[in-house]
Amino acid sequence: MSAHCQLTGAEPGFGNNISHSHRRTSRRFDPNIQRKRYWLPSEGRNVRLTLSARAIKTVDTIGIEAAVARIRARGGKV
C-alpha cells in the first residue's frame, strides 16, 4: 500500500534524521494512511478508499457522496 491519500493527495515528505553528533541521514515522514470501507448509496455498493486520518474526518463532515465526487474530479478511480 502506497502512502498516498486518495482524497487530499497527502504524500510522504522527506527530510533528515539528525543524530546527537549532528550527522544527517535520510528519513521519510509518512502520512497516517488507513484503508476504510464506505457504503455508497448512489451506486448500491461498498467502496474501499485509502485515506489519511485527516481525510477520514473530512468524509465524516462532507459525506461520502461529496468525497467520492472530489476524488473523481481529481482523476482518481473509485
pLDDT for 57: 98
User: What pTM value is reported for the model?
Assistant: 0.86
What φ, ψ does residue 2 adopt, rounded to 5°? Answer: -80, 150
Contacts 24+ apart (CB under 8 A), 46-53: 47/78, 49/6, 49/7, 49/78, 50/1, 50/2, 50/4, 50/5, 50/6, 51/5, 51/6, 51/7, 51/8, 52/5, 52/7, 52/8, 52/10
Q: What is the pLDDT along the chain (78 residues), one digit of tens a residue?
A: 579 999 999 999 999 999 999 999 999 999 999 999 999 999 999 999 999 999 999 999 999 999 999 999 999 999
pLDDT for 1: 53
pLDDT for 2: 79
